[in-house]
Amino acid sequence: MGALSRLLARYHQFILRISIFDRVLIGNSIIIIFGAVAGTIVTRQMTLLGNARLILLFSAVGILITLLVNRVIIQTALLPLHELGTALEQVHSGQINIPASLKHYQDPDIHRLVTALDSMLNRIADHTSQLQAISERAINAQEEERVRIARSLHDDTAQSISMLIIHLDRLKALLPEDASDLKRYIDDAQQVATKLLENLRKIIWDLRPSMLDDLGLFSAIRWFARTNLEKAGVKVDFYSASEVNRLPPYLETMLFRIAQEAISNILRHANASQVFIRLWAEEEQVWLEIRDDGCGFDVEKTTESVLDEKRFGLLGIQERASLVHGEVKIESSPESGTCLQVHIPVQAGDQPPSEPDSLKLSERVVQP
């Protein structure tokens, strides 16, 4: 029994070293030779019996057996290609390595193909890692620059406008009672300066909302949604589970920017009348869902055309989520609204993706 097992193992190794073309050629040659010899012998015997129906029956059986055997041979020979195709289909779900089982084939053709594909996937993985690192660096630099600009606007521009309003008020008090025209000009200047200060505070909040640091993620999203959506006549419903505690600052920043982009997209494209925003925690993950009843869109078509049309909103959302190991799910179709779901793992001991310390704005920043 042991000798038979060793013989079969050697035969298997010998077969694996033969190329696919040679295996198919050898298998079909054996079938043709065996079929020709067996068919000749059987046909001669049937002819001597003189039974035409029996001849047709044996011929049909012989053809069927030949086809079945040929199918088995071809299927066996092409099995490595089938396994390779299955492995490549997994690339879309995140697998970027060829399974080790495919690397054991000694077929020279399969070996060259597996080696080339494995090298290509490794290069793609390296380039993907480099792009993610560059993207992470760019996003962090963007947040840091937002903070720097917000601080500069608050400490310099906003303070200067405030002083201008105070000086105009003092100047108005020094004017004589009969200088009504001059007082009117000063009132107009005060109104312009006050409006300018209000707009500047909104810009500072958009750059880096201090509410995100002070009150948390949900409060910041709720304020932004009400300020922008309800102002445009869109009804907003909120829900936040009580078990959602304060998250690490880098996660709150990521989720807020995702919500900000989603709300901006609703305003620009959705033509919605109602928006539902939910935030909850489940199985060590935090979930954010933003759903509207707007016009919707074709997700696949839009995703394929974002680069050509230079519309990077959805790509930005997906990239931000991927940097913190999150996933984005978008469900939409024309005339049926859109649902955006983002879930991000929250695990103790996780480190933020090299977030600069300056992402926390000083409490001195002007509140909107």
User: Would you say the C-alpha torsion 56, 62, 68, 70 has a positive or negative sign?
Assistant: negative
Per-residue pLDDT at 181 exceeds 70: yes
For residue 368, pLDDT over 70 is answered with no
State whether residue 98 is helix, strand or coil: coil
Give the confidence band of 287 by pLDDT, cuts at 50, 70, 90: very high
**Percentage of the residues of the chain whose pLDDT score is greater than 70:** 78
Is-contact 295 354, C-beta < 8 A?
Answer: no
Which position has the higher pLDDT, 171 or 142? 171
Structure tokens at 303: 């995703």
Q: Which amino acid is at 151?
A: R
Q: Is the pLDDT score of 341 beyond 90?
A: yes
Q: How far is 258 from 202, CA to CA, in rounded Å?
A: 19
Scanning 237-312, the segments in alpha helix (DSSP H) are 249-265, 299-309
Reply yes or no on whether the pLDDT at 208 is more than 80.
Answer: no
Q: Please, which pLDDT band fits residue 338 given cuts at 50, 70 and 90? A: very high
Mean pLDDT of the chain: 78
pLDDT at position 307: 64
The model's pTM is 0.62
| The pLDDT of residue 238 is above 80 | yes
pLDDT at 243: 58
Please give the pLDDT value at position 359: 42
Mean of pLDDT values over 4-9? 66
User: How far is residue 203's CA from residue 76's CA, in Å, rounded to a whole number?
Assistant: 67
What distance in Å separates the CA atoms of residue 72 and residue 232, rounded to the nearest whole number? Answer: 67
Is residue 362 classed as helix, strand or coil in its secondary structure? coil
Query: According to the model, what pLDDT value does residue 30 have?
Result: 77
Residues 226-240, mean pLDDT to the nearest whole number: 88
